[in-house]
Amino acid sequence: MTRLLILGGTKNLGRHVVEAALRDGHEITLFNRGLTKPGLFPEAKQLIGDRATPDALEVGEWHGVIDLSGFLVGDVRRTAELLRHRVARYTFMSSIAVYASKTQPGMTEDAELLPWPAGTSDDEFTMDLYGPHKVRAERVLAEVYGERAASVRSGFVVGPYNPDFGNWGEALATGKAPECAARPDQPIQHLDARDLAAFLLRLTIDGPGGAFNAVSSTTTMAELADAWRSAVPDALPVDWDPAVDRFHLPNDGSNDGTFQLSNARAVAAGLQVRPAEKSARACVEWIKAGNTPPPPPH
């Protein structure tokens, strides 16, 4: 049994992290504002607070912290410094949006990262600043924790509670055509939220530290769609020109490198990637049980 502090933990990916940690017998403390699904995990200790003023974290010791709610470098710096002598390991949920190039195939974790736009405040957020904030948050953690920090870079995270690639889960659950406003040969990487949760826990308990591309190997949208379609009998063909653009990737190759990352370092550190049809089957069953997936991320 290990004492873990989870920053976030109640919405999409975080739910899988908390469920897996509780299943493994760990003692969990959640820190969030208490707005998203309050009372979801009665077995966990709950600390209420905002990342901007994390006073509730001034007391307590944990083996590790998993940071799922770090979108601003200012927020991550506050918790990093506040917890530095009271947690052994700090695992940060970063993103594949950190890379400077969106076209170069085969990027490892050492590829060039996005610059910080001059004149921007540490607590200012726009979607254009999502990647730059993650880059700087990773650097803050490396400075404060060294090898005790891990930064996990993922992209499309799918599974129950999480968005999928548009209407795929819902379409397959209800006999409609899966829609996809992307090139059929568009490269794509993905990861089941349950595999990502297991990897986050593994790094937080045993290490190693550093940055990790936590993604599947590269496939194409057509191959991925076929894998999802194989989850149900008699799935309809994909509609590659849907009237509603729920899931869009640039068609001109300008984003292809983002989904051809090397995952070798993460796999060597223990990342396991289940086949896409297993994620699809879990999503379809979850939707058939009456759940509605959240909209795709942009």
Ligand X SMILES: NC(=O)c1ccc[n+]([C@@H]2O[C@H](COP(=O)([O-])OP(=O)(O)OC[C@H]3O[C@@H](n4cnc5c(N)ncnc54)[C@H](OP(=O)(O)O)[C@@H]3O)[C@@H](O)[C@H]2O)c1
Of 9, 64, 131, 159, the one binding ligand X by CB under 6 A: 9
Angle at 211 between CA 207 and CA 116, to 5 degrees: 140
Angle at 262 between CA 79 and CA 97, to 5 degrees: 45
Structure tokens at 60: 């307590």
φ/ψ of residue 196, rounded to 5: -65, -40
Residues 177-236 that bind ligand X (CB under 6 A): none
φ/ψ of residue 79, rounded to 5: -75, -35
Smallest separation (angstroms) from ligand X to the CB of 237: 26
Of 95, 151, 218, 262, the one binding ligand X by CB under 6 A: 95
Segment interacting with ligand X, rule: CB under 6 A, options 150-158, 178-186, 259-267, 277-285: 150-158
Answer yes or no whether residue 157 interacts with ligand X by CB under 6 A.
yes
d(CA 198, CA 50): 26
**Residues near ligand X (CB under 6 A), total:** 26
Answer yes or no whether residue 36 interacts with ligand X by CB under 6 A.
yes
- Binding-site string for ligand X from residue 100 to residue 139, where x marks contact by CB under 6 A and - marks none: ----------------------------------------
153-173 CB burial, b ≥16 within 10 A, e <16: bbbbbbbbbbbbbbbbbbbbb
d(CA 143, CA 157): 28
* Cβ proximity to ligand X, 233 vs 298, nearer residue: 298
Of 10, 216, 219, 263, the one binding ligand X by CB under 6 A: 10
d(CA 232, CA 230): 5
Query: Under DSSP, is residue 153 helix (H, G, I), strand (E, B) or coil?
Result: strand
Q: Name residues whose C-beta falls within 8 Å of residue 289's C-beta, 6 or more positions apart in sequence.
A: none
Answer yes or no whether residue 13 interacts with ligand X by CB under 6 A.
yes
Smallest separation (angstroms) from ligand X to the CB of 83: 14
* Cβ proximity to ligand X, 175 vs 297, nearer residue: 297
Answer yes or no whether residue 73 interacts with ligand X by CB under 6 A.
no
Of 2, 3, 27, 34, the one binding ligand X by CB under 6 A: 34
Which residues would be at the binding site for ligand X (CB under 6 A)? 8-15, 32-36, 50-51, 68-70, 93, 95, 154-157, 162, 297
